[in-house]
Amino acid sequence: MRNSALVIVDMQYDFIDGSLACRNADNAVKETLKYIDSQTKGQGGEEHEILDTFPILFTRDHHPADHSSFTGFGGTWPSHCVAGTRGGEIHEALLPYVNEELTFDKGCDRTVEQYSGFEGMNSAGQSLGEILELLDTTDVYVCGIATEFCVRNTCEDLLKAGFKVHLLKDCIAYVDHDGHLKALKEMAEEGIGIE
Ligand code: VGL
Ligand code: ZN
């Protein structure tokens, strides 16, 4: 039997309308909501029922204010997704689907830039990969921000761990359009389904 789950990568305000606003971000949020609806139709919208049949997991970029990826602290990115700020919050339209146990933070250590959500941790210290295994997941659907960085690294780690990975191409946002297309092409060559 196939068991599917959805992983929503870094759909946080700094990547949508904040310091690192990405292209197609508003549209990606809308398309993600449509996708969730299409997968959960007929379930009455009850959160627990949705979670039973189609778990939705979230990753968050979650940095301290002096993170080493920020300009001013040795890095190249503007300050973004600082823990406790609006920029670090998940878009409000998605909040009905957010569940603490299924929310995984990464980039928390100031010395490490962690693009992949795979090793992100929930508040109980469990990783995304660990929880997907506990859920007997075979197929992981991925959407979020940004194609070239966190989405790509998360997809590649999922693939390496043995999951079948399906990237929802209408539900992703990106830093650069050419970079996005190049990343999609390379991911397809690696065996990630672009759907
Ligand atoms: C990301 C740049 C810096 C991402 C995170 O989520 O793709 N990009 N930190
Ligand atoms: Zn970051």
Sheet holding 56-61, edge to edge: 103-106, 56-61, 4-9, 139-145, 164-173, 193-194
Q: Determine the pLDDT at residue 103.
A: 98
Please give the domain boundaries of the chain with CATH numbers for all domains.
Answer: 4-194 (3.40.50.850)
| Cβ–Cβ under 8 Å, residues 10 and 94 | no
Pocket test for ligand 1, best of 8, 20, 147 (most atoms within 8 A of CB): 20
Ligand 1 — pocket residues by CB below 6 A?
10, 15, 61, 77, 145-146, 149-150
State in Å: Cα 124 to ligand 1 middle.
23
pLDDT at 47: 54
Give yes or no: 160 in active site. Answer: no
The residue-averaged pLDDT of 72-96 equals: 97
User: What's the predicted TM-score (pTM) here?
Assistant: 0.96
- Name the average pLDDT for the chain: 94
The residue whose CA has the least distance to atom 4 of ligand 1 is 150
Q: How far is the CA of 166 from the centre of ligand 2 (A)?
A: 23
pLDDT at position 139 over 60: yes
pLDDT given at position 106: 98
Supply the pLDDT for residue 133. 96
pLDDT in tens, 14-52: 999 999 999 999 999 999 999 999 988 755 555 555 556
State how beta strands 139-145 and 4-9 pair. Answer: parallel
From the candidates 10, 61, 105, 157, give the one annotated as an active-site residue: 10
E strand intervals along 62-181 = 103-106, 139-145, 164-173
pLDDT tens digits for range 94-131: 999 999 999 999 999 999 999 999 999 999 999 999 99
Where do the H-state alpha helices sit in the chain? Answer: 13-16, 25-40, 47-53, 128-134, 152-160, 177-190
